[in-house]
Structure 1
Amino acid sequence: MENLPISDPLILTAPLETSTSTATNNPTVPGPKIETNEYITIASTKRATLASLIPPEWRVPDPLPSADEIPNVTKYALKYLTSREADITEKYTAEDLVVQIAQGVYSAVEVLRAFGRRAVVAGQLTNCLSEVLLSQAFKRATELDNHLATTGTTVGPLHGLPVSVKDQFRVEGAQTSIGFVGLLGKKETKESESEAVRILKEAGAVVYVKTNVPSGMMAIETNNNIIGYTSNAYNRDLSSGGSSGVFLFPTQGEASLIASRGSLIGLGTDIGASIRLPAGVSGLYGLKPSVGRLPYQGLANTMDGQTVIPSVIGPISHSPSDLSFMMKILLNSKPWERDPNVIPLPWRSDVDEEVRASGKDRKRKFGVMQWDGMVMPHPPIQRVLQETVEKLRGEGFEVIDWNPPAHSEAFNILFKVFTADSGQEIHGLFSLASEPPVPEVALSYSNSASAALSALGPPMTITAYWELQKQTLSYRERYAEYWNSTGGVDAVIMPVAPSVSVRKGEGKYFGYTGVANVLDAASVVIPAGVSDKGKDGRKERDMDGVSDMDKTIWESYDPEVFDGMPVGLQIMGRRLEEEKVLAIAKELEPLLR
C-alpha cells in the first residue's frame, strides 16, 4: 500500500465543513468505511485546505530552506516580524505579557497577530501544527479588546494571551483527529469542548492553534498520515520528541512550536514522557502533574478507560514561573466541581513560599541518579548532570547517590500497560480509513492487527490486569520505603532521556521519564546545558554484558550530529508535589542557566 508523502509543509489548518462530534473521550466514533487508498485523497485534501488559508504575506517562499541550509529555525520567523512583533514574542514571559495587554501596551489582536505569524512559519518549517484557528481567534481577540476598552477591566487572568494545545484537546470549531485520517471531518461543538479548554477561554485566553501528534499518541516519534513528521526546531534533521508509546523517544508538535516562540505556553499530555521529553530536547520547561490534579475531561484519547497508569495534562513553557502561573489559573477555576476525577486540591502558594525559603537556608537535599541501569546516557548528558551536581554542592546543598528499586521494573509495567490490548484499538482506528500505520507506530504495534497479535500475544485478561495493578502498587510502596530510608530527599534529579535527541526513525527508550508515571510522581523538566562536541567527544565504554538496546543507543551518539542541542534534566518529587518541584525548578533556574 502506498504511504502518504510526508514532505509537504504543514500549514494553517481549517476544519472541514462536515458533521459534528459528540462529547466523549472515546475517539472511535463509528462511521462509514473508507475504501483502500482513499485515505491519501482525504489527507491531501485536508492539507490543501489548510494551505489555502495562509495569508500570502505569512508564507515562507518556495522552495522552503532545507534542514542542511538552516537546521535551527527557532529564530527564523523574526525575518517576517516587525520590531514590535519581535518584542511581543521574545521579551516576555506569559505572565508578564498578560500584564502588558491589561495595561494597554499591546492589544490582544496585535499579540495574536505576532504569535499567529510566528506559529505559521514554524508550522511550515517543522510540521508542528495540526489545526490553526485564526479566524475564530481574531474574532475572540477583538471581543477582548473591546471589552477592555469599554469596561476598563480584563475578562480574566489570561486576558488576550494566545495559548496552544496538543491535538488531543477538543476545541469548538476544530477537528480532533489525533493523527488518524478516519477521524477527520468532525467539528467539535461547545458541548464537546475539553474542560481545560473551557477554563482557558473563561480566563481570557485565545486558543489559536493545535499541535501535531503521532497517530494515537503511541509512537516513537511524531508522524502521521495527515500532517507528516514533526522535526526539532533546534535541528530539523532530528526529532522533536512526541507522545508516549512502547520503546519510544516521544515527540510532539507542541515543543517545536514553543521552542520557535510561536507560542509562549501550551498544554500537552503525558503517559510516559510526552510532556517532559519534548520539553527536554527543545530547551523548555515541562510539568507532568500527578493523576487527578488537572481536568482530563473531554480529551480525545486511545486506551480510554485504562486506569493503571492514566495519562495526565500539564503545561510546557519557556520558564518555570509560567508553569506555576498556568497551574494556579487552572486550579483556581475549581475544576473538581465539573470533572469528578479531579482532586479538590487548590494551588498551594504557601508550599511554594516554604520551599523557596528553605532553599535560601541551603537545607535542600537531592538524590541524583546518574543512570538507570538499563540505558547509559550519552556523554553530553553525563557531563551536564555532573556539572549540576558540582553546582549544587557549591551552593551548599546536600547531594546523595540515588539507588532505588530497579527502574527496569517500572519500564516493564509501562510496556504491559501500552500493550494490554495487543494494539487492537490502534489498528481499529487505522482501519477506519484503511490507512497503513506509519513506521513509528508499526515499530511498536506491527503493520496490522494480526501481526500485532502474533508479536505481542493475546490481549490481557482481567486477572492479569488486576495483577498488573498490584505490581504497580507494590513498586510504589517499595520506592517510597527507599525514599524514606535516605532521610527524605527534597527531589530526585536524573536525565530526561539517554540522548539529547535522535535522528529521525531511531527513537528507542523512555525509561527515564516513565518511572514518574508509574510512581504517579510530580516531575518537571528544566534546561540545564547544551551538548558540546569539544567537551563531550566520543567516549569509549566497555560494552560487555550490556543489552542490545543499551548498545544500540550508545553507538548512535555522534558529537557532530548532536552538537549544540539542549540538554534537559528531570526533577522528580513525590505524588501531588507540583508546587514543590516547580519551586525547586525556579530556585535552580539561574544556577543551571
Structure 2
Amino acid sequence: MTADYRTVIRLKHASNLDKIPADWRLKYIPSPEEQQEVEPYIEPLLSSKELWITNVSALELLKNIKSGQLSALEVCEAFCHRSALVHQLTDCLIEIFYDRALQRARELDAYFQETGKLVGPLHGIPISLKDQFNLKGITTSLGYVAPHISEELECIVSQKTPDEESLLARILYDAGAIFYVKTTVPMAMFGSETSSNLGVTRNPFDRRKCPGGSSGGEAALLAGKGSVIGMGTDIGGSIRGPSTQCGLFGLRPCSNRFPYLGTSNSYPNQPIVPSVAGPMCRYLEDMEYVSKVVLDAQPWFQDAKVPPIPWRSVNLDIINVGFMHWDKIVMPHPPILRALEHAEKSLQEHGIDCLDVEPPLNHAEMATFLTDIYTCDDFAEIKKFAALGGEPLPELLVKMFQLNGQVFDLNDVFNKVGQKYQYQQTYDKFWNDTAHHTKNGKPVDCIILPGWACTSWKIGEHYKIANIYTRFLNVLDYSVITLPVSHVRDSDEPFERTDFAGEADRLCWEYYDKEFYRGMPIVLQLVCRRYEEEKCIALAKKLLPIIRD
C-alpha cells in the first residue's frame, strides 16, 4: 500500500534537515512578514572568509584556487553552509548531498597538491543543478511526491534508468565542478511559481514574493548567494522568469545548443518547441566562461541533437539596437518602463543607433500556441504521475487545468510545426526589415525588451500577471540573455491609465504598488537571433555598463 503523500513529504523534509549539520540549522525561522530579506539575516552567521567566497565570481575563486590561496574544500564548505541557510528561509533545495560534495573537494585538493595542476577549467567550483538534471545516486522527482516513495516510482516519473546521468552534468564534472545540491521545481515544471505539494519556494529579496518558475529554486539559491553558477531549463521562460524575479543573468540558448541528453523532463522529446538547458549566474563573466567550457567539450559527438557549433569569438563594431518597450498586450510596470527609457537614452548618448520596434505578431496568440503544446495530452501524464504518489494536484496546476487541453493526433503535431515555422518566418522578415530604418543599413543586432511585465508578485497570485514576454521567444527559438539593470525606487510612481489593451493589461497594471516592490531587481531581456549565444553575451558585456542605472 502506498504511504500517505503527506507522510512522505514530512519524511522528505526531515531527511533534508538531517543532511544539514546541526550548527548550520537556524534556531528560529522568522515568518516572511517578520523577515522579508534573506541576506541581512544570514550574513552574521557566516565567517568573513565564507562571506568573501560566496560574494565573488567563479573566475575569482578559480584564480585563488590556482594560486593556492584557497582550497576546493574551503570553497565547497562556504557554499554548502550558505546554501543550507538560504534553504531554511526559502525552501529552495530538493536534494542535499554535502558529504558527497566535500569528499569530491578533498579529492580535488589532493590532486592539486600532488600535481600542481587543476583537474579542469572548473576545478573546485560548486555548481547547483535544477532537479531535472540527473546524477547517479541522487533522486530526480520533477516536483512529484512519488519518486520519494521508491526508486521504481522515481524511474517511472523521471523516465530514466537508475544510473542515468545528464550529459551536461558529466561535462561540468569532468571539468572539475563540484555538485552539492539540486533545486526545487513546481510539479512537472509547469508554472511561473515554484510551488508543489512538496513545498513553496520563496524569493530571497522578499520572502513574501515568488522567485518565478520553473527554475525558481535555482534562482532563489543564486540570489541568496548559496551558489555562484547554476543550471536551469527553459521552455516558456523557466530560466528567464526566475532570473528576472531574482536579479540574475540567465541564458536561454537556441534549441539543443547545450546538451539535454540524460536530463529528465515532462513530455520528453516533445519536438515542436523543445525545452533547452542553460546557465544562470550572478556574474556575466561566469556565464561566458561556463558556456565556453560546455561547448569546448564538443557535446555534439555524444548528443545527436546538438549542432556541431563550437564556441565562437564575436566582433562587435557598429551596433544597432532595437527596443520593444511593450508588446501592446500587457504594459510593464513603471520601474521597467523607466529602465527601458534610461537604457535607450544612454545608448544613444554613446552614439549607438537605437530603433523603437513594435511586435509584428500577436504575442498572446503565440503564448496560446505554446500552451496548446504544453497540454497536448490533456494533462494525462501529470495526472498519472500525481496519482502514483496519491497526491492531489497543487493549486498552481488546478488553475491551468481550467484551460482544457486538447489531445493532439499526428496531424495536429504537423500543423503545429507548420504554424511555428510561419511565426518564425514572419518575425525573421520583420528583423531583416529593420535594416531599412538604421543609419548603416544593417538590421538591428539585438532587441531589448522587458523580462516580465513586473518584477515579481506575491506567492499564489501568478494568475494576476500574464506570462507573455518570455513565451513568444521560445516559439521563435531566439537566443536570449537576461540583464539586471536597476532596482525599484521611491521615484517609480504609478501613473493613471484608462486605455488598457485588455483584462490582462488592467490586472497587471493595477497590481503595481511602489511600497510593495521597493528594492526589487529590474531585469531586461536582450534578444539575438538563433544560435547567437556568443553574440548575446558579447553584447551584454558591451552594453550593460552603459544601460545599468
- Give, in angstroms, the shift of residue 575 of structure 1: 0.1
What do residues 288-342 of structure 1 show as CA deviations (whole Å, max 9, x unaligned)? Answer: 0001211001111002121110000000111221111011000111111111111
1:74–1:259 contact (8 Å) kept in structure 2 = no
Residue of structure 2 in register with 1:365 after alignment: 320
What do residues 187-244 of structure 1 show as CA deviations (whole Å, max 9, x unaligned)? Answer: 8988411111111110000001111100110023101112x1111110000110112x
Q: Does 1:495 align with 2:439?
A: no
Residue of structure 2 in register with 1:374 after alignment: 329
Residue of structure 2 in register with 1:279 after alignment: 243
Pairing 1:548-559 to 2, within 5 Å after superposition: 548-559=503-514
Residue of structure 2 in register with 1:147 after alignment: 111
Q: Does 1:264 align with 2:236?
A: no
Find the aligned partners of 1:367 and 1:320 in 2 and give their Cα distance.
Answer: 21
Q: Does 1:48 align with 2:3?
A: no
Q: Does 1:469 align with 2:417?
A: yes
Amino acid at match of 2:452: A
Residue of structure 2 in register with 1:337 after alignment: 301
Find the aligned partners of 2:171 and 2:165 in 1 and give their Cα distance.
Answer: 10
Find the aligned partners of 1:366 and 1:482 in 2 and give their Cα distance.
Answer: 14
Select 1:174's aligned residue among 138, 141, 161.
Answer: 138
Residue of structure 2 in register with 1:11 after alignment: none
Select 2:203's aligned residue among 232, 250, 269.
Answer: 232
Describe the SS at the equivalent of 1:97. helix
Q: Which moved more, 1:535-544 or 1:580-589?
A: 535-544
Amino acid at match of 1:46: K
**CA separation of 1:303 and 1:73: change in aligned 2, threshold 3 A:** same
Find the aligned partners of 1:210 and 1:567 in 2 and give their Cα distance.
Answer: 26
- Give, in angstroms, the shift of residue 77 of structure 1: 2.5
Describe the SS at the equivalent of 1:236. coil
Residue of structure 2 in register with 1:515 after alignment: 472
- Give, in angstroms, the shift of residue 555 of structure 1: 1.2
Amino acid at match of 1:262: G
1:172–1:189 contact (8 Å) kept in structure 2 = no
TM-score by length of 2: 0.94
Amino acid at match of 1:417: I
Find the aligned partners of 1:393 and 1:535 in 2 and give their Cα distance.
Answer: 23
Find the aligned partners of 1:408 and 1:127 in 2 and give their Cα distance.
Answer: 32
Describe the SS at the equivalent of 2:181. strand
Describe the SS at the equivalent of 1:511. coil
Describe the SS at the equivalent of 2:127. strand
**CA separation of 1:189 and 1:421: change in aligned 2, threshold 3 A:** closer
**CA separation of 1:281 and 1:426: change in aligned 2, threshold 3 A:** same
Find the aligned partners of 1:502 and 1:581 in 2 and give their Cα distance.
Answer: 28
Residue of structure 1 in register with 2:91 after alignment: 127
Describe the SS at the equivalent of 2:120. coil
Identity of aligned residues (%): 39
Find the aligned partners of 1:483 and 1:458 in 2 and give their Cα distance.
Answer: 33
Amino acid at match of 1:239: C
Find the aligned partners of 1:189 and 1:126 in 2 and give their Cα distance.
Answer: 31
Residue of structure 2 in register with 1:541 after alignment: 497
Residue of structure 2 in register with 1:70 after alignment: 35
Find the aligned partners of 1:378 and 1:214 in 2 and give their Cα distance.
Answer: 26
Amino acid at match of 1:221: E
Find the aligned partners of 2:7 and 2:341 in 1 and give their Cα distance.
Answer: 52
Q: Does 1:89 align with 2:46?
A: no
Select 1:422's aligned residue among 339, 363, 378.
Answer: 378
Describe the SS at the equivalent of 1:164. strand
**Residue ranges of structure 1 left out of the alignment (5+ in a row):** 1-32, 244-250, 447-454
Residue of structure 2 in register with 1:389 after alignment: 344
2:94–2:182 contact (8 Å) kept in structure 1 = yes
- Give, in angstroms, the shift of residue 589 of structure 1: 2.4
Q: How many residues align?
A: 530
Residue of structure 2 in register with 1:452 after alignment: none
Find the aligned partners of 2:348 and 2:260 in 1 and give their Cα distance.
Answer: 39
Residue of structure 2 in register with 1:301 after alignment: 265
1:527–1:592 contact (8 Å) kept in structure 2 = no
Select 2:407's aligned residue among 459, 476, 488.
Answer: 459
- Give, in angstroms, the shift of residue 461 of structure 1: 2.1
Find the aligned partners of 2:163 and 2:306 in 1 and give their Cα distance.
Answer: 19
Amino acid at match of 2:473: A
1:129–1:210 contact (8 Å) kept in structure 2 = yes
Amino acid at match of 2:26: V
Residue of structure 2 in register with 1:100 after alignment: 64
1:259–1:282 contact (8 Å) kept in structure 2 = yes
Find the aligned partners of 1:198 and 1:225 in 2 and give their Cα distance.
Answer: 30
Find the aligned partners of 2:128 and 2:115 in 1 and give their Cα distance.
Answer: 27
Residue of structure 1 in register with 2:213 after alignment: 242
- Give, in angstroms, the shift of residue 457 of structure 1: 5.0
What do residues 384-419 of structure 1 show as CA deviations (whole Å, max 9, x unaligned)? Answer: 111111111111111111123222332122121112
Residue of structure 1 in register with 2:292 after alignment: 328
Find the aligned partners of 1:118 and 1:529 in 2 and give their Cα distance.
Answer: 25
Select 1:436's aligned residue among 387, 392, 409.
Answer: 392
What do residues 93-115 of structure 1 show as CA deviations (whole Å, max 9, x unaligned)? Answer: 11221121121111111111101
TM-score by length of 1: 0.87
Q: Does 1:34 align with 2:2?
A: yes
Q: CA RMSD in A?
A: 1.5
Residue of structure 2 in register with 1:6 after alignment: none
Residue of structure 2 in register with 1:209 after alignment: 181
Residue of structure 2 in register with 1:9 after alignment: none
Residue of structure 1 in register with 2:516 after alignment: 561
Amino acid at match of 2:170: R
- Give, in angstroms, the shift of residue 123 of structure 1: 0.3
**CA separation of 1:393 and 1:552: change in aligned 2, threshold 3 A:** same
What do residues 96-142 of structure 1 show as CA deviations (whole Å, max 9, x unaligned)? Answer: 21121121111111111101000000000001111111011111000
Structure 1 segments (4+ residues) deviating >6 Å: 187-190
Residue of structure 2 in register with 1:28 after alignment: none
Q: Which moved more, 1:137-146 or 1:549-558?
A: 549-558
Residue of structure 2 in register with 1:580 after alignment: 535
What do residues 491-521 of structure 1 show as CA deviations (whole Å, max 9, x unaligned)? Answer: 0000011111011111142211112211111
What do residues 547-591 of structure 1 show as CA deviations (whole Å, max 9, x unaligned)? Answer: 222211111111111111000000000000000010011112222
Describe the SS at the equivalent of 1:391. helix
Pairing 1:404-415 to 2, within 5 Å after superposition: 404-406=359-361, 407-415=363-371
Find the aligned partners of 1:88 and 1:231 in 2 and give their Cα distance.
Answer: 24
Residue of structure 1 in register with 2:488 after alignment: 531
What do residues 45-75 of structure 1 show as CA deviations (whole Å, max 9, x unaligned)? Answer: 111111122211101112x122222211134
Find the aligned partners of 2:469 and 2:240 in 1 and give their Cα distance.
Answer: 10
Residue of structure 2 in register with 1:20 after alignment: none
Residue of structure 2 in register with 1:57 after alignment: 23
